[in-house]
Structure 1
């Protein structure tokens, strides 16, 4: 009644307001939460009452309930009239858009949301697209909502679509980068002092490299001055032009001027889009002041003529001579913070993802006794099998990663043998290749595994006596060799071609090269929540790594990498020259390496446990005993109890004085 009163107040002549009230009343079972929120923002009510040719995206009761369940802070924000008005304005589109206007080619519709929540000419945008024959709406963080009831028209040429998710108001570029796993970019902006400047720009297009892209040129970043980084970042920004993917795909090639001053070249190859030689991995991530397109490479303003190879699965870095680093650079101190977490998971479980997941699970359907790591000497890794089963039990997620942690010692292949000069030690050391050039065990270079364990190394091998201890266990040396006078040598004293021996600890590895748990997800919303779980568990390098190779009318199925490279380490411990294997370090050094590896096994297990708990908290439905009830059911129960008590109080006022009364405290046990 309060809503009807507000809508009629001074506006009785406007039939559209009355009709909207009727629509809300007729759909009370679905839209009662929206009806209750509108009276808190009379300015929005005033706007809607006089609106002509608008589209209202009306979140259902379930959409609001899920939002508040996922993020309790949402309830607090909804009580803030200014914030609530901004959220509701973002759900009103300029122009009447029927369901037939949704198509596989996205449209970007302007909303009523303007300053201070949006710095985009004409109002903040939403992305509309038909995906798998369902009308979808994409908002901040590329959150997706589905239209569940379409084309409810009302007077004034207006229409309502009921959606299953509350839209996320886009935030500034820095927060968007942090909360979508682009933490190296956020760190670069911070290091260069550009955060406030970029956030305050209007109508921007930002090409945002992934963390993997920054890692690929990690060695080059170390030699860049602050001025250089400012120039590189400016080369990724277009000002006073919001270029959505539909615009960038409108021509085979176009040249655009960047904020830094040099030009970039946009190239189209079928459904693929390239910026110079970098491929657009994720398009159209809305921000408060424009749009972000995620790139698989960092653009180089000193290499503006770089061109892509569309047939190649990955593009070469635009920084010649750069080598990769293990950890995402510039991420220190960058912490994810979100205002709105995606409230519901619009599953892609009916189409391509389901087929892929079923195929993957069929390949994993083997007895535990037959389940082992692919590396030589691997044993059953029960810890990771439990995590795999847990991930795969959640709708919208699937993984096949096979190893929860490994300590190994391997002998390089012959093709990477090091030739050490007889001159000074410094000259010899310069001849040692970097770790990326080494031929690991099991590869075509003929490397050999000397030791592999998926558990902490037992202390019993640290005998410190004639048995050789860790040198026998890890390097395969015989006790007589260990105790000989020439037990150790410096690397600079080796003569002839030598094959180096590496000691390595790798947490949570699916293969021998990357410390990563890969999770295929059914949608961008699933991916963001998996990244959130990884961040909460301590895997700061977590992020989406692949959205490539999908038809334009198919939903994105991101691959999320839960990286744990902060725990990994590697050390040279020996060499083999002319078939003779030698230790290059002391027993105490080997003992220290083993102790560090064992400690990191423990920390890795803790992180995996935290990740497991975070996944359950985010994805699993609430659990409890038979008396458990969700928040909505509890509110309804308490409302009914209150009504019964009110009736009882009325009866108490009219009954004889000597009639015993009902003690309301008797009901306390049901609260």
Structure 2
């Protein structure tokens, strides 16, 4: 009978390896963050650990939802107005949002939904086979400064750190739409203030990546020391790791360009062959 943990791990790794822009997972983003790929692959080489979810860190602007006539942070109609996991998309993000700036206008009704600017740091969820492995991973995380970490049921370890921002920057009422029928938002902070908290977020991203690298090094050291010699198992799980079925945006773009050129060349050759056939009834060798 197969080990239940091993079976669960193999199923998870199969799902991870198939995740792509054309095969989205259940997360809001739909694909695994590129910054998380190395540490996910690393953790999954350990025979007693498997990653179940991750976020490398993100900036988001979130419109609170409504439920039973009460404003709640998440829920019905709550949505991201803007979200990015990469600093390359962060500069001047507010230029693309339909904000109405008025630093003197604040929400005065309970029916007005708040808009929150958030920076959320790295989070990893790792399922472990036993309490001993869970405790070791938890201790590694704590030693690396991930003080919000914890062990849940079924030896699931949540690795978290508190370097976050959570700032109200505006609001929207239920009937607020512009002349084109699009939602518009009241922003009660200035563009200068948005520029400032964006700069702060760049610093948060930098610290977040530093902690991610520190965690990666610590887990790598642990795995090397804890290797139980089960090379056959490690080979099996490495055969379905993310790198086999996952592409970065740049790799996917390059592949699609290459495939497009190949299709065009195939069409060109087909048309040329048809033209030659029409001319003399013979297909000549094409170079």
Q: Computing the radius of gyration over CA atoms, which structure comes out larger, 1 or 2? A: 1
Q: Which residue in the other structure is 1:438 paired with?
A: 72
Displacement after TM superposition at 1:370 (Å): 4.6
Does the aligned pair in 2 maintain the 1:456–1:598 contact within 8 Å? yes
Displacement after TM superposition at 1:495 (Å): 5.4
Displacement after TM superposition at 1:439 (Å): 3.5
Matches within 5 A, 1:32-43: none
Which runs of no fewer than 5 residues in structure 2 stay unpaired?
177-183, 228-287
Displacement after TM superposition at 1:416 (Å): 7.7
Does the aligned pair in 2 maintain the 1:488–1:582 contact within 8 Å? no
Q: Which residue in the other structure is 1:500 paired with?
A: 114
Displacement after TM superposition at 1:616 (Å): 1.0
Q: Separation in 2 of the partners of 1:594 and 1:450? A: 15
Does the aligned pair in 1 maintain the 2:91–2:198 contact within 8 Å? no
TM-score using structure 2 length: 0.67
Q: Looking at both structures, which has the greater relative contact order when contacts are Cα pairs under 8 Å and sequence separation is at least 6? A: 2
Change (3 A) 1:496 1:527: closer
Q: Separation in 2 of the partners of 1:404 and 1:610? A: 14
Partner residue of 1:583 out of 153, 171, 187: 187
Matches within 5 A, 1:507-586: 507-508=121-122, 516-547=123-154, 558-564=155-161, 566-577=162-173, 578-579=175-176, 580-586=184-190
Q: Separation in 1 of the partners of 2:50 and 2:213? A: 18
Does the aligned pair in 1 maintain the 2:84–2:90 contact within 8 Å? no
Matches within 5 A, 1:463-502: 470-473=93-96, 476-477=97-98, 481-482=100-101, 487-491=102-106, 494=108, 497-502=111-116
Displacement after TM superposition at 1:446 (Å): 0.9
1:389 aligned onto 2:41 = yes
Q: Separation in 2 of the partners of 1:449 and 1:367? A: 22
Does the aligned pair in 1 maintain the 2:20–2:31 contact within 8 Å? no
Does the aligned pair in 2 maintain the 1:489–1:583 contact within 8 Å? no
Matched position secondary structure for 2:158: strand
Encode CA deviations 1:386-407: one digit per residue, 9 max, x unaligned.
Answer: 2211111111000121321111
Displacement after TM superposition at 1:571 (Å): 0.7
Q: Which residue in the other structure is 1:411 paired with?
A: 63
Which runs of no fewer than 5 residues in structure 1 stay unpaired?
1-131, 133-349, 419-436, 462-469, 509-515, 548-557, 624-671
Matched position secondary structure for 1:540: coil
Does the aligned pair in 1 maintain the 2:21–2:31 contact within 8 Å? no
Partner residue of 2:201 out of 580, 597, 605: 597
Moved more, 531-540 or 498-507: 531-540
Q: Separation in 2 of the partners of 1:606 and 1:361? A: 26
Encode CA deviations 1:249-269: one digit per residue, 9 max, x unaligned.
Answer: xxxxxxxxxxxxxxxxxxxxx
Displacement after TM superposition at 1:574 (Å): 0.6
Change (3 A) 1:598 1:374: farther
Encode CA deviations 1:65-95: one digit per residue, 9 max, x unaligned.
Answer: xxxxxxxxxxxxxxxxxxxxxxxxxxxxxxx
